[in-house]
């Protein structure tokens, strides 16, 4: 079959499986199976695909039809204009999280020390350091597998001024920082089962479960963060769309000031920030 025919076949299978965007996902799977760019596909679309690529596409399509996340199949996710390696040990980077990066960068001059709590794939910290190469970054996570992925991403992006360490929040942190960022688990425990299959069945539960009210990690991080912030430092959280007032109240109780709630491009509350 030609690459174009394979594309049509994959899209139809994904449409039958009620995948949200079958055309886009089919195209991405064809590129993955053929290890090619979209420009290469447009040049080769009417040529016959090798049997091994056709078989690779069929297997990948069936996996996606079972609602296995596209990014875990291809091993890549786009974030802040960069490509990050991901697998099932890390949360898939979302466009919403770019608001956290942008807000953190708005408080930077260029040589800050930045701590990323729950770094996952490292997408937030690496994106900041790519834009501010004179800054110094530390990313921590409880997952050894996640830290390995974050280190790989930093390496393939050419980032040198970064360190990753295993730590349960601040447990193994002894230094102080200008900026602390975190996109902690914030889904209410009872809500997780209502999420899309791609999320609840395949993304790591430890990156989703924010406790009974979704605020468990905000309380823990906020209560400890002041000890690890320099004078004038700032703490920034990504939040769920309805959590702004609650997280602001938590930070106020812990002595943070100038607390702001920032909305994303969709108009949803997405980041809460506060200084000391």
The predicted-structure confidence for 196-249, as pLDDT tens digits, reads as follows 999 999 999 999 999 999 999 999 999 999 999 999 999 999 999 999 999 999
Q: What is the mean pLDDT of the chain?
A: 97
Residue-wise pLDDT tens digits, 47-76: 999 999 999 999 999 999 999 999 999 999
Q: Which residues contact 63 (CB under 8 A, 6 or more apart)?
A: 73
Considering only CA atoms, which of 80, 172, 239 is closest in space to residue 164?
Answer: 172
User: What residues form DSSP beta bridges with 179?
Assistant: 114, 234
What the block records as the tokens of 218 is: 């905000």
CA 211 to CA 23: how far, in whole Å? 36
Backbone angles phi, psi at 236, to 5 degrees: -130, 130
The enclosing H or E element of 79 equals strand 76-79
Percentage of the chain surpassing pLDDT 90?
100
Largest CA distance in the chain: 65
pTM for the full predicted model: 0.94
Q: Supply the pLDDT for residue 146.
A: 98
- What is the rounded CA–CA span in Å between residue 238 and residue 186? 9
Query: Quick one: tokens of 247?
Result: 């997280």
**CA angle centred on 161, ends 145 and 125, rounded to 5°:** 55
**Nearest in space to 69 (alpha carbons), one of 212, 265, 207:** 207
Q: Provide the Cα torsion 35, 38, 39, 44; round to 10°.
A: 60
Query: What is the distance between the alpha carbons of residues 160 and 137, in angstroms, rounded to a whole number?
Result: 9
pLDDT confidence bin for 120, thresholds 50/70/90: very high
Q: How far apart are CA 56 and CA 66, in angstroms?
A: 16
Contacts of 46 (CB under 8 A, 6+ apart): 2, 3, 4
What is the predicted pLDDT for the residue at 43?
A: 96
Asked if 235 contacts 225 with a C-beta cutoff of 8 angstroms, the reply is: yes
Q: Which of 93, 88, 67 minimizes the C-alpha distance to 78?
A: 93
CB distance 71 to 77 below 8 Å: yes
Encoding tokens for residue 66? 């079972």
Q: Which DSSP category does 119 fall into? A: -
H-run or E-run covering 236: strand 229-238
Confidence class for position 16, pLDDT limits 50, 70, 90? very high
């Amino acid at each position: 079959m030609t690459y174009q025919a394979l594309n049509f076949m994959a899209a139809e299978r994904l449409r039958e499986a009620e995948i949200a965007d079958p055309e886009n996902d089919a195209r991405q799977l064809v590129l993955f199976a053929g290890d090619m760019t979209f420009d290469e596909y447009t040049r080769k679309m009417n040529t016959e695909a090798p049997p091994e690529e056709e078989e690779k596409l069929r297997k990948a399509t069936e996996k996606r039809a079972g609602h296995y996340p596209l990014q875990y199949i291809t091993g890549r996710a786009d974030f802040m204009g960069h490509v990050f390696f991901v697998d099932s040990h890390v949360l898939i980077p979302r466009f919403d999280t770019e608001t956290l990066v942008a807000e953190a960068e708005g408080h930077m001059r260029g040589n800050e020390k930045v701590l990323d709590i729950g770094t996952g794939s490292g997408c937030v910290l690496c994106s900041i350091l790519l834009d501010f190469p004179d800054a110094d970054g530390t990313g921590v996570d409880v997952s050894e597998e996640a830290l390995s992925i974050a280190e790989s991403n930093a390496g393939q992006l050419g980032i040198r001024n970064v360190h990753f360490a295993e730590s349960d929040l601040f447990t193994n942190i002894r230094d102080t920082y200008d900026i602390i960022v975190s996109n902690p688990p914030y889904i209410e425990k009872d809500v997780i089962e209502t999420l899309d299959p791609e999320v609840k069945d395949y993304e790591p539960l430890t990156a989703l479960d924010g406790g009974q009210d979704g605020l468990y990690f905000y309380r823990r991080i906020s209560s400890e963060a002041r000890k690890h912030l320099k004078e004038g430092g700032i703490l920034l959280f990504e939040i769920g769309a309805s959590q702004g007032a609650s997280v602001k109240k938590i930070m106020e109780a812990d002595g943070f000031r100038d607390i702001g709630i920032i909305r994303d491009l969709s108009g949803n509350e997405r980041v809460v920030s506060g200084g000391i």
